[in-house]
A = this chain, B = another copy of it.
């Protein structure tokens, strides 16, 4: 009897807790993860940055430098590290590693900018929105963070989201997956949300 009473009390408390912790978007409930190993939402996507070469790739290019490297980058180190060069992008984001073919839709677009910010070597800083408009997801995730390119993995912050990702927060762990010459790179993005509405 006592055991039963106690467990019904727990049910009551848990019910009230979920009310207090909850903030429903269209009936959805707020979830805060109980461990950094257990995000409430998780997905891996690939970002393709195709830089305009100024010559013949305007059809495919999704990014272009909006500013030039500053003299600080070239003066300090003759091997130009692009210090201060800011690139605006609207990159394709896919579930697999390949670019979409034919009428295939990308999983998302990554719209934002990065700039190089280290005179001695290559390092960058990013801020962008992942814009989803597919059968799987609608809405955006807003992201920012430092990209010390010589480390294997780097963590960006997911500062918020909209629609399917209403009020989300989390981490994007990025990895440089492929670099082809000066005009293409692919980043693996492991997206982990720790505050979700599900």
Interface residues of chain A, those whose CB is within 8 Å of chain B, are 6, 9-10, 12-14, 16-26, 28, 30, 32-36, 52, 54, 58-59, 61, 63-67, 70-73, 75-76, 83-86, 88-90, 111-113, 115-119, 123, 125, 127-129, 131, 139-140, 142, 144-146, 148, 155-163, 166-167, 169-171, 194-195, 197
Contacts and interface: CB of A to CB of B under 8 A. Distances in A.
B155 A167 contact: no
B131 A144 contact: no
B146 A129 contact: yes
B10 A12 contact: yes
Given A23-B36, A24-B34, A157 B159 contact: yes
A45 to B, nearest CB: 16
A192 to B, nearest CB: 10
Contacts of A115: 66, 88, 113
Contacts of A158: 160
Contacts of A113: 115, 117, 125
Nearest to A170: B167
A166 B67 CA distance: 32
Contacts of A163: 155
Contact of A72 (B61, B116, B156): B61
Contacts of A54: 71
A48 to B, nearest CB: 15
Contacts of A61: 72, 76, 119
B131 A117 contact: no
A124 B113 CA distance: 11
A81 to B, nearest CB: 11
